[in-house]
Chain A
Amino acid sequence: MSENNTTLKVENVSKQYGDFTAVENLSFNVRAGRVFGFLGPNGAGKTTTIRMIVGITFPDEGTIELFGERISNETQNRIGYLPEERGLYKKMKVQDQLRYFAALKNVSQTEADRRIDFWLERMKLSEWKKKKTMDLSKGMSQKIQFIATVLHNPDLLILDEPFSGLDPVNVEFLIEVVAELKAQHKTIIFSTHLMETAERLCDDIILINKSRKVIGGTLREVKASFGKNLIALRAFGGESVLEDKSLVTRIIEHVDEKEIELNEHADAQTLLKRLIENGAIISKFEQIEPSLNDIFIEKITETNA
């Protein structure tokens, strides 16, 4: 991974609140133009870490570098942050509100107006421009908050639970928008505890628990490192092959199929070949990867123990 390819570099960062350790010796890199999943259960230290990246609080130890610079008010202008706890001024008009947020990110008013029109159009909210926020539905407010996050055309987007409170149609819509931003070579940090969404969107992930890193890397690597050889099988016959302990270590019976855990020295091809040789009639033979959800639950239970 070359230096200019790295958007964010977190090195040995620790943060304490009194006696409570929120983040302990955390290190990770986020690469440019990728979606980075920042995963972990509630209270793991995700929000604290994000607040240090956006310059709301500062680490007690360790360093954070963004675009090769230390965190400062300058780097703040290049980040678009959608916090988990987010709100809008209730009695302000949508347009005035967005103008204010843009001005706080150093965007000139003419440029801000142009982008507000673009994004309201894109989010299908143009007719709400002059309305007050309190007249908006929750889903609409969420979209306005998303616009506030991207209005200054940031190079790094940090989205903390961006889909909470959205209906499925709008979730799909936002995923599409995130994909567009990724295609424009923006870096996206995506924090969630919805593993299915993370699995769909993320190129890289880090899993933290109890203020420490548990695992991290590309989604592929993480899954491979977790790699149990699991096979979903629906077959008629071939029972004798499955009893061979040098091939199969465990069988979990489901209603109409079996989940087979392969011996670590065996491979799926050999099993398939042996089954066919034994005259088994196979209607399903599929190598299954562990889901991110499985990894999450197993790793969290492991580190909590």
Chain B
Amino acid sequence: MRKFLAVVKHEYKKVVLKWSFIVSTLLLPIILAFSTIVPALIFSIKGEPTRITIVDQSGKIAPRLKENLSAERMSARVEEIAKDSLTNLDASQQEQMKRSAEQFSTPFVFTDYNFAEKSLEQIRRELGEKITAKELEAYLIIPNNLDAVDAKYEFRSRKAGDFGGERNLRDALNEAVRSERLAGANISEVQLKNLSRNVDFDAKSLDEKGDEKDSDSVYIASLIIGLMIYILLQIYGQMIMSAVVEEKETRIAEILFSSAKPFELMMGKLVGVGLAGLTQLAIWIISALVLVGIGIAQMSAAGMSISIPNISPLMVVYFFIFFLLGFFIYASIFALIGSMVTTVQEGGQFAILPIILLIVGFYFSLAVMRDANSSLSFWVSIAPFFAPITMPVRILGETPPFWQIALSIFVNAVTIAGLVWLAARVYRVGMLMYGKRATIPEVWKWIRQS
């Protein structure tokens, strides 16, 4: 037992103390934090208010526009935009940037200016001078005839990059003009809003008890979990393979085998690297939870409700079990490959086999997501190699009866026992053969002989 623990500790430290591990473990939360918190921080630093002069030649628009740009109306608008960006996740990056800029744009302060009896040219010149003298940031000239085909609304501003403010102004202006036109047609703003409202499409799926649940969040959570398992298994599988090849290349294998049982060495390696993987996963999950928590707190402070997929603690336990099953299955396949080849590059060619299994499993999980109760979903969530990816997705979609989960765990545990037994055998014999890659008949002979 002491030897086994020594191997576990050695393998764990070897992975965790590597620079690449430390960097990749910390990088993800940092990137996450940057992409969520930093923009919010920067835009929340309110700039100086924009001093603007409105030259309303028609005399009908300015009061409405000023009202639309008032502080209360602006914050109501910000809230609406925030809600909108949550439901509309597939908006482009640029669009999202613009929206967040809009949320945090600076307020307007109106400066009076007497334009009576002055020509358009004179107005432009005088206001231009005020801007140069820094008495003013922007001016807006509203034409006399609002509905003329060539009616132009001139907006000139010193703040070239304040597209948020510009957009706010444009929207407020549009609204004000539209209200004016509606008033002309005897339709009130409220009436229009009521007539053009979208229907409220409430899509929810039902679970086995007939209770409602949110199908969107299940879909996203399944995708994330399936992808996460797939990526982690691939990374850590390859890590095990190179660890095995390294011992062979550096000729340490002979010392190891003269000190401990191959099974202890193999199992210790799998457990050690597995623990390193869990460490990384734990750091990622905790930091993601913290960031999501901050986000939720911010949004509920803004008076919004968000739905999180309904994940029970039992589900978390299941995910954990299936993650471990998957890890041991794929890690032992990678270890098996590592013991058969002589260099990491050579191993890379064979690593395609477990990766194909993983990809197939991932696609099966998409099928399971579509219909968690089909007979295909049943079989692939029991089958070795695929169950570790498909079963968690199935549990999330619709938790199957306990006996199916137990059967799946049993089948995969037996597969692991077989694979580790096989890998330990090939490991010992294969590790002592230097210089040439083993052929399949040779490997078969090793298994029978040792």
Residues of A bordering B, CB below 8 Å? 18, 51, 54-57, 73, 76-77, 79, 81, 83, 85-90, 92, 96, 100-101, 103-106, 148
B3, B251, B254, B445 pick with most chain A CB within 10 angstroms: B254
| B261 at the A interface (CB under 8 A) | yes
| B255 at the A interface (CB under 8 A) | yes
Say whether B258 contacts A148, CB under 8 Å.
no
Contact of A76 among B10, B14, B259 (CB under 8 A): B259
In the complex, how many residues of chain B place their beta carbon closer than 8 angstroms to a beta carbon of chain A?
A: 26
Say whether B251 contacts A104, CB under 8 Å.
no
Distance (whole angstroms) from the CB of A113 to the closest CB of chain B: 14
Say whether B252 contacts A87, CB under 8 Å.
yes
Contact of A56 among B10, B14, B428 (CB under 8 A): B428
Say whether B255 contacts A148, CB under 8 Å.
yes
Looking at chain B's contact residues, the main secondary structure is helix
| A-B complex: 5 closest residue pairs judged by Cβ atoms | A103-B6, A87-B250, A87-B251, A104-B259, A54-B258
Contacts of A105 in B (CB 8 A): 259
Say whether B257 contacts A85, CB under 8 Å.
no
Say whether A83 contacts B254, CB under 8 Å.
yes
| B81 at the A interface (CB under 8 A) | no
In chain B, what residue has the closest Cβ to A83?
B254
Distance (whole angstroms) from the CB of A37 to the closest CB of chain B: 20
Contacts of A104 in B (CB 8 A): 3, 6-7, 256, 259-260
Contact of B250 among A51, A76, A88, A103 (CB under 8 A): A88
| B363 at the A interface (CB under 8 A) | no
Q: How far is the CA of A106 from the CA of B249 in the complex (A)?
A: 25
| B286 at the A interface (CB under 8 A) | no
Say whether A103 contacts B2, CB under 8 Å.
yes
| B432 at the A interface (CB under 8 A) | yes
Distance (whole angstroms) from the CB of A258 to the closest CB of chain B: 50
Total number of A-B contacts with CB less than 8 angstroms? 67
| B115 at the A interface (CB under 8 A) | no
Contacts of B256 in A (CB 8 A): 104
Say whether A100 contacts B10, CB under 8 Å.
yes
Contacts of B246 in A (CB 8 A): 89
Binary interface encoding of chain B residues 218-254 relative to chain A, with 1 for a CB under 8 A from any of its CBs, else 0: 0000000000000000000000000000100111101
Say whether B428 contacts A83, CB under 8 Å.
no
Contacts of A89 in B (CB 8 A): 14, 246, 250, 252
Say whether B251 contacts A83, CB under 8 Å.
yes
Say whether B3 contacts A103, CB under 8 Å.
yes
Say whether A90 contacts B250, CB under 8 Å.
yes
Say whether B6 contacts A100, CB under 8 Å.
yes
Contact of B254 among A18, A56, A96, A101 (CB under 8 A): A56
Q: How far is the CA of A76 from the CA of B264 in the complex (A)?
A: 14
Q: How far is the CA of A54 from the CA of B256 in the complex (A)?
A: 11
| B320 at the A interface (CB under 8 A) | no
Distance (whole angstroms) from the CB of A266 to the closest CB of chain B: 52
21 of the cross-chain contacts (CB-CB < 8 Å) are A18-B445, A51-B432, A54-B258, A55-B258, A56-B257, A56-B258, A56-B428, A73-B260, A76-B260, A77-B259, A83-B251, A83-B254, A85-B251, A87-B252, A89-B246, A89-B252, A101-B255, A101-B259, A103-B2, A103-B10, A148-B255
| Given A54-B258, A55-B258, A104-B259: A88 in contact with B252 (beta carbons within 8 A) | yes
Say whether A81 contacts B250, CB under 8 Å.
no
Say whether A86 contacts B254, CB under 8 Å.
yes
